[in-house]
Structure 1
Amino acid sequence: MSVMSLPDALLSLEAKIQHLSTTQGSEPLVQLTEAVPALPLISWLASQELYPRIYWHGRDKEEEVAAIGCTCDFFFDDQVADQQLAEVYQRQRALSYNQNFRYYGGVAFDREVEGWPEFGRARFVLPRIELRRSGKEFKLLLNLNFDGNDRHAECQAALQALSSLKRPKPLTPPGKVNLLGRSEYPEYPRWQQLVEQVTADKFNRHTPKVVLSRLSQLEINDPVDPWMVLACWQGRCPSSFQFGFQFSKDRTFISCSPERLYLRRGQELFTEALAGTTLRGHTEEEDALLAKQLQEDSKNSHENQLVRQHIVEHLSPLSHYVGAEESPRIFKLPHIQHLHRAIRAELKPGINDFQLLLALHPTPAVGGLPRPSALSFIRQQEGYNRGWYAGACGYLNRHESEFSVAIRSALIEPGRINLFAGAGIVAGSDPEAEWQELDNKLATILSILVEL
Structure 2
Amino acid sequence: MLSQAISSLTDKLKQFNFQSHSDPIIQLSVSVKAIPVIAWLAAQPIYPRIYWKGRDTEEEVSAIGSCKDFFYEDAVDDNQLAMAYQEQRALTNNQDVRYYGGVAFDRTTESWPEFGRARFVLPRVELRRSGSEYKLLVNLNCQDNDKENERSQAIDCLTSLASPAPLPPPNKVNLIGRSDRPDHYHWSELVNKVTHPKFIKDTPKVVLSRLTQLEVNEVINPWMLLACWQGRNPTSFQFGFQFSPDSTFISCTPERLYRRRQRELFTEALAGTTTRGLTKEEDKMLATQLLEDSKNSHENQLVKEHIVDALTPLSNYVGAEESPKVFKLSHIQHLHRSIRAELKPGVDDFQLLLALHPTPAVGGLPKEPAMNFIRQREGYTRGWYAGACGYFNKYESEFAVAIRSALIEPGRINLFAGAGIVSGSEPEAEWQELENKLTTILSILTEL
TM category, shorter:
over 0.9
Worse-matched range after superposition: 148-157 or 266-275: 148-157
**Offset at residue 153 of structure 1 (A):** 1.3
- Alignment RMSD: 1.2
Residue 232 (str. 1) matches residue 228 (str. 2) = yes
Which residue of the partner structure matches residue 201 of structure 1?
197
Question: Residue 34 of structure 2 contacts residue 133 of structure 2 at CA under 8 Å; is this kept in 1?
Answer: yes
Shift of 1:7: 2.0
4+ residue runs over 4 A deviation: 21-25
Instruction: Quote how far apart the aligned CAs of 1:15 are.
Output: 1.4
User: 2 CA distance for matches of 1:404 and 1:157?
Assistant: 32
Q: Residue 138 of structure 1 corresponds to which residue in structure 2?
A: 134
* 1:58-73 equivalence runs, <5 A: 58-73=54-69
Change (3 A) 1:152 1:323: same
Equivalent residues of 1:21, 1:155 under 8 A apart:
no
Q: What's the counterpart of residue 190 of structure 1?
A: 186
For 1:57, give the aligned amino acid: K
Alignment partners' CA distance in 2, 1:450 and 1:235: 16
Q: Does 1:129 align with 2:108?
A: no
C-alpha deviations, 1:311-364, integer Å up to 9, x for none? 000000000000000000000001100000000000000000000000000000
Q: Which amino acid aligns with 1:390?
A: A
User: Aligned partners of 2:205, 2:427: CA distance in 1, in Å?
Assistant: 14
C-alpha distance in 2 between matches for 1:182 and 1:75: 32
Cα deviation, residue 169, structure 1: 0.4
Whole-Å separation in 1 of the counterparts to 2:4 and 2:186: 60
Distance in 2, Cα, partners of 1:14 & 1:43 = 22
Distance 2:447 2:320 in 1: 42
Match of 1:216 in 2: 212
Q: Which runs of 5+ in 1 are unaligned?
A: none
CA–CA distance in 2 between the matches of 1:36 and 1:324? 41
Q: 2:408 aligns with which of 405, 412, 432?
A: 412
The farther-off stretch of 274-283 and 59-68 is 59-68
Q: Partners in 2 of 1:238 and 1:216 — Cα distance?
A: 24
SS state at 1:147 partner:
coil
Equivalent residue, structure 2, for 1:433: 429
The answer for the alignment partner of 1:276 in structure 2 is 272
Show the counterpart of 2:112: 116
Check the 8 A contact 1:85/1:354 in 2, yes or no: yes
Equivalent residue runs for 1:15-94 within 5 Å: 15-20=11-16, 25-94=21-90
2:339 paired residue number: 343
Residue type matched to 1:420 in 2?
F
Preserved CA contact (<8 Å) 1:21 1:152: no
CA–CA distance in 2 between the matches of 1:334 and 1:25?
49
Amino acid in structure 2 at the alignment position of 1:136: S
Among all aligned residue pairs of Structure 1 and Structure 2, give the percentage whose two residues are the same amino acid: 69
Describe the SS at the equivalent of 1:299: helix
Aligned equivalents of 2:39, 2:260: Cα separation in 1: 29
Q: Which moved more, 1:38-47 or 1:91-100?
A: 91-100
The one-letter code matched in structure 2 to 1:113 is T
Contact 1:295 1:339 (C-alpha < 8 Å) held by counterparts: yes
CA displacement at 1:25 relative to structure 2: 5.0
- For residues 271-318 of structure 1, the C-alpha deviation after alignment (integer angstroms, 9 at most, x for no partner) is 000000001000111001100000000000000000000000000000
Once the two structures are superposed, residues 14-46 of structure 1 have per-residue CA deviations (whole angstroms, 9 ceiling, x without a partner) of 112222378675331110010111110000000
User: Which runs of no fewer than 5 residues in structure 2 stay unpaired?
Assistant: none
The answer to whether the aligner puts 1:372 opposite 2:365 as a matched pair is: no
Which of 351-360 and 146-155 deviates more?
146-155
Q: Distance in 2 between matches of 1:393 and 1:103?
A: 11
Partner of 1:297: 293
**Amino acid in structure 2 at the alignment position of 1:273:** A
Alignment match of 2:323 (pick from 321, 327, 350): 327
Aligned to 2:389: 393
1:355-414 deviation per Cα after TM superposition (whole angstroms, max 9, x unaligned)? 000000000000000000000000000000000000000001111100000000000000
Aligned residue identity for 1:88:
A
Secondary structure of 2:16's counterpart equals: helix
Over 3 Å counting, the alpha-carbon distance change for 1:185 and 1:134 in structure 2 is same
Match of 2:168 in 1: 172
Is residue 446 of structure 2 the alignment partner of residue 447 of structure 1? no
- Of the three residues 254, 262, 279, the one matched with 1:258 is 254
1:105 to 72, 89, 101: 101
User: What are the superposed Cα offsets for residues 29-87 of structure 1, whole Å, 9 maximum, x if unpaired?
Assistant: 11001011111000000000110000000001411000000010000011112211110
Q: TM-score, normalised by structure 1?
A: 0.98
What TM-score does the superposition give when structure 2 sets the normalisation length? 0.98
The CA deviation at 1:148 is 2.8
Residue 178 of structure 1: CA displacement?
1.3
Q: SS where residue 129 of structure 2 aligns?
A: strand
Query: Matches of 1:397 and 1:152 in 2, distance apart?
Result: 25
Q: Matches of 2:207 and 2:278 in 1, distance apart?
A: 28
- 1:28 and 1:96 in contact (8 A); partners too: yes
Deviation at 1:8, TM superposition (A): 2.1
Tell me, yes or no, if the aligned pair for 1:43 and 1:168 is still in contact at 8 Å: yes
Give, in angstroms, the shift of residue 270 of structure 1: 0.3
What residue is the counterpart of 1:402 in the other structure? 398
Hey, what does 1:161 align to over in structure 2?
A: 157
Q: C-alpha distance in 2, partners of 1:402/1:81?
A: 22
